[in-house]
Structures are given as structure tokens and as C-alpha cells.
Amino acid sequence: MTATAELFGPGSRPVRIGPFSAAVEHRAVVVTAVLLLAAAAVAWWNMISGSAMLGASEVIDSLLGRADDGAARVVLEWRAPRVVFTLLGGAALALAGAVFQSQTRNPLGSPDIIGFSTGAYTGALLVAAAGFTGLWATPVGAVLGGLTTGAAVYLLAWKRGVSGLRIIIVGIGVSIFLGSFNTYLLTVLSLEAAMSVATWGAGSVNDIAWVHVLPLLVIIAAALPVMLIHARDMRLMEMGDDAAAGLGIRLERVRMVQFVCGILLVSVVTAAAGPIAFIALVAPQLALRLTGASSVQLIPAAAMGAVLLTASDAIARTEMIPVSLPVGVVTLVLGGAYLVWLLVTMGRSRKGVS
């Protein structure tokens, strides 16, 4: 059996559709379907719940254009874009986390750990400090900040190629530096601008509108097919650069394409809602444990990300009614608990090995 065939495992079968090639595992399909149903259920709860509770018939009538103006405004202008954004945004963050964890071959290799989310925040702060206040100023600044940070981490980690450990170490250092720089930028902004950016920096979807959903949908539609095309190469690269190169993988090309896709996904979410912590870190690993796969898989991770961010928003919206918490506060608490658990279990496993 070849090395490529072994990656499919005994419970899966290879499927090829045009340029796409994937190992379809029965358990992964079932897990993904359950996660999608859970995401849909939580999304529906978010449509009917809040400071103004709505009946299921009112939501359905609003979606069909038959409701009165008040209910239609609540559903179509306030809740629907927020629900769609949390579904897509959670999936986008999880996809980015899956890419970087695969590239670094480390469960800590997520964009909020290695500085890309912080870099997107820096870009938004620089735009605010420069006095640009247009509708697209913050999103453009965040995307440029994320891409610039990604390029800096990649170049600083380069030494006849890049390794996962160097990316993580360099990324943590860049993240710490940018975090300090962001604090400085907040002190030089006007009070009004600083309060606005600080609220955005907590990771909030309270003001999400359809105008924020469209760019996210476009980026996902563009990035996901590219990531799926390179999914098989990504799995082969987890065997090690030498083994992947021996199988004909163009390492730096694949790595660069995946980096750009991951950074774009993180940046477009950060541009609209601010840096939402830990979804990119947690979702791929939880999906990995549920599917029992040997490596991170993109589609189950995306489904898990949609569940986590939508559920976190449900908690943020309903925990302190009529006050709506920033969703980043909830993900920070949940993600922090997961990180502590991960570090403890990793420490125990290393002791067992020694």
C-alpha cells in the first residue's frame, strides 16, 4: 500500500470530482451532519430569542415577507444578518485554524496565537489613527494588517524553508509586539475613536449588518475551493517536508497558498467583528477528536466553528438581557478553559512517554 493510500484509512474511500480529491470517511460525514444540524438549531434559537421574543410563525412570516414592519425589521435587519455572519464567521475562523494547525503540525498553531488576528486589529487601529472613517476603511485596514503580519511571520521564520515550530515561536513574538503597539495606538486616539475601536476589539457582532456578510461570503466562496484542492497536499505535508517533497508536493507553493487563504479568512471576520479569540484554536481540534481522524479535516472543522460561534453568540445575547455582551468575551472564557485543558493533557502525555 502506498503512503497516499494509507492516509485514507480503513473506514474511508477516496473520492475525486474534477480537481478535488478527498478521503470521505463515514464517521466524519456523520459528525459533520450532526454539527450542521446543531448549528441550524442554535441559529434558529437566535432568530426567535432576545430582548424581544418572537414566535416561530413570526420569524417564518418575516422571512417570507408577510410579517408586519416591526417583526420584519427585527428579523431581517437585526437578527438574520447576525445569525448568518456567526455561521459563516465561525466556519471561516475554523478553516483558518485548520490550515495553520496542519501547516505547523501543532494544535497551538492557530491565527490568534501566532499573531494574524492581532495584526488585523493593528491594521484597523492604524486606519483609525490616520483619520479614515469610511464604511470600508476598517475592513480594508484589517485585511491589509493581517496580510502584512502573515508576510512578516513567514519571512522571519524562513531559514531554507519554514518549519511549524519556527512559525509558532516567531508568531508569538510578533503577536506580543503588536499587542503592545496596539495598546500604544489606543492611547493616542481621541476618546471617541478609542472607545469605538476598543469595543470593536472585544470581538462583537452586535452591529453586524448585511453589508458585513457579503465580503465574508465572497472570501469563503473564493478560498474554500482552493483549500479543498490543496487538502490532500496539506495532509501529505503533515508527514514531514522531506516525505512530502519525495511525493512530488511543491512545498512552498502549497504553504503560501494556504497561508494567504487562512489569513484572508481571519482578516475578513476581524474586519467586521473584531478579533474573536479561540474559535480558530478550538474548533479544528474538537472536530478532530469527534471524527477520530489522523489529521485535521476542513469540512468537519468548519461545521464545528459554525456551532461554536453561533452558540457563543446565543450565550452573549441572552445571558444578561437586555444587555448584549461582545461574543469575544464568551469565546475568550470558553477558549481559555480549553487551552488550560489542552496544556494539562499535553503535559500528562509527555510524562507518560518519558
* Beta carbons of 327 and 316 less than 8 angstroms apart: yes
* Beta carbons of 96 and 104 less than 8 angstroms apart: no
- Nearest C-alpha neighbor of 280 from the set 166, 137, 113: 113
CATH of the domain at 62: 1.10.3470.10
- The pLDDT assigned to 20 comes to 56
- The pLDDT assigned to 19 comes to 58
Q: Is residue 1 part of a domain?
A: no
- The pLDDT assigned to 178 comes to 92
- In three-state form (DSSP H/G/I as H, E/B as E, the rest C), the secondary structure along the chain is CCHHHHCCCCCEEEEEECCEEEEEEHHHHHHHHHHHHHHHHHHHHHHHCCCCCCCHHHHHHHHCCCCCHHHHHHHHHHHHHHHHHHHHHHHHHHHHHHHHHHHHCCCCCCCCCCCHHHHHHHHHHHHHHCCCCCCCHHHHHHHHHHHHHHHHHHHHCCCCCCCHHHHHHHHHHHHHHHHHHHHHHHHHCCHHHHHHHHHHHCCCCCCCCHHHHHHHHHHHHHHHHHHHHCHHHHHHHCCCHHHHHHCCCCHHHHHHHHHHHHHHHHHHHHHHHCCCCCHHHHHHHHHHHHHCCCCCCHHHHHHHHHHHHHHHHHHHHHCECCECCCHHHHHHHHHHHHHHHHHHHHHHHHHHHC
The pLDDT-based confidence of 1 (bands split at 50, 70, 90) is: very low
Q: State pTM to two decimals.
A: 0.87
Angle between helices 80-104 and 251-273 (to 10 degrees): 150
In this predicted structure, the answer to whether residue 10 has a pLDDT above a threshold of 80 is no
- The pLDDT assigned to 89 comes to 96
Q: Which of 34-38, 100-104, 138-142, 278-282 has the lowest mean pLDDT?
A: 138-142
- The pLDDT assigned to 155 comes to 87
In the chain, the number of structural domains is: 1
Q: Is residue 25 part of a domain?
A: yes
Q: Please give the average per-residue pLDDT across 25-42, as a whole number.
A: 92
| Residue 305: all three cell numbers together | 466553528
Q: Is residue 27 part of a domain?
A: yes
Q: Is residue 205 part of a domain?
A: yes
* Beta carbons of 237 and 4 less than 8 angstroms apart: no
Distances (CA, A) of 297 to 9, 28, 29, 140: 14, 9, 11, 30
Q: Which domain holds residue 265?
A: 6-353
* Beta carbons of 287 and 279 less than 8 angstroms apart: no
Q: Please give the average per-residue pLDDT across 153-161, as a whole number.
A: 81
* Beta carbons of 220 and 272 less than 8 angstroms apart: no
